[in-house]
Amino acid sequence: MSVNKVILVGNVGKDPETRYLDESTAITKFPLATSETYKNRSGERVSTTEWHNIVLWRGLAQVAEKYVKKGSQIYIEGRIKTRSYDDSEGNKKYITEITGDQMQLLGKRPDDSSDGGMQTPQEKPQQAAPPQPADPGQARTPSTGQGDPLNSGDNGPDDLPF
């Protein structure tokens, strides 16, 4: 029995390049950086970065083409493949790639705003407050089961496990 499985979490080094072999077969390639930080024997902090060539096919390639950008943090699960080719001078070259089977976008979702798509909690749209009784001394009526299912009255949301 043998296993060829790779799991990487890292940052995309440049915008993905996508090409189509025919009208439905997409292939997307991009570099992914993974970093490791540790202290050496003299107590200095050392950071090393490893670069991985990622290759995605078909539907996964189309998703990457649409949503993955330089700097995106992603999770890739796949397998290692090594291939060879002859360069223009006739020398045999080898390249190791990660062929992705699964991908998950991590971090914040970018949008088209000028701040790079990062919203602080203060910038998120606020929900309107529920209407208050005209008389502050008026008692609140118990919930009739309509409205917010997580609101259990004055005690706040129910203790849900998620």
The per-residue pLDDT for 159 is 53
Closest CA to 49 of 94, 86, 13, 100: 13
Pair 60, 78: CB distance under 8 Å:
no
The tokens describing 57, both together, are: 């096919």
Left if phi > 0, otherwise alpha if psi is -120 to 50, otherwise beta: which for 24?
Answer: alpha
Residues in the chain: 162
- The rounded distance, in Å, linking the Cα atoms of 42 and 55 is 39
pTM: 0.63
Burial 64-96 (b: 16+ CB within 10 A, else e): bbeebeeebebebebeeeeeeeeeeeeeeeeee
β-strand pairing of 92-106 with 45-57: parallel
pLDDT in tens, the chain (162 residues): 999 999 999 999 999 999 999 888 999 999 999 999 999 999 999 999 999 999 999 999 999 999 999 999 999 999 999 999 999 999 999 999 999 999 999 987 655 444 444 433 333 333 444 444 444 444 444 444 444 444 444 544 555 554
Burial of residue 36, with CB atoms counted within 10 A of its CB: 0-12 exposed, 13-18 middle, 19 or more buried? exposed
Neighbours of 9 (CB within 10 A): 13
